């Protein structure tokens, strides 16, 4: 790796759903009638439980990965993700860089290994280094 790659301090995944019991129930109801979908949810969860593959992927990454629902976003994350959820952002210093947007996450097909590949490719394409 060249020295010009900037290190990513934190990865932030933003779901296209609110958190909490009411938010989760609204998401499930919307999804059941075909009016709601979150590709990041499909990657990280199977039903109401976290996928084992997701936990293993997080264990392989040295860069911390935080998952947030729409109603849990701090202001800077809200500004960076408004209109582009679900998404994965990289915190690099005071900057938030979008690595994966809704179409990128859909293209993963709920496959964690494909998500990892696309995440690393996106970081390298932007001159960022994942630890």
Per residue in 50-109, pLDDT (tens digit) is: 899 999 999 999 999 999 999 999 999 999 999 999 999 999 999 999 999 999 999 999
Distances (CA, A) of 97 to 13, 105, 124: 12, 16, 12
Secondary-structure class of domain 6-129 per CATH: alpha beta
Task: Specify whether the CB–CB gap between 88 and 102 falls below 8 A.
Answer: no
Task: Report CA dihedral (102, 108, 110, 115) to the nearest 10 degrees.
Answer: -100
Distance from C-alpha of 90 to C-alpha of 100, rounded to nearest angstrom: 10
Residue 5 clears pLDDT 60, i.e. is over it: yes
């Amino acid at each position: 790796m060249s020295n010009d790659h900037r290190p990513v301090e934190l990865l932030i995944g933003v779901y296209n759903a609110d958190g909490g019991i009411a938010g989760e129930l609204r998401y499930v109801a919307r999804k059941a009638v075909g009016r709601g979908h979150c590709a990041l949810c499909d990657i990280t969860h199977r039903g109401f439980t976290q996928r084992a593959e997701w936990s293993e992927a997080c264990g392989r990454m040295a860069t911390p990965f935080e998952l947030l629902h729409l109603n849990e976003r701090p202001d800077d994350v809200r500004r960076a993700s408004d209109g582009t959820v679900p998404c994965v952002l990289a915190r690099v210093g005071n900057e938030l860089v979008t690595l994966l947007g809704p179409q990128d996450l859909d293209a993963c097909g709920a496959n964690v290994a494909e998500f990892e590949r696309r995440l690393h490719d996106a970081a390298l394409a932007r001159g960022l280094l994942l630890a």
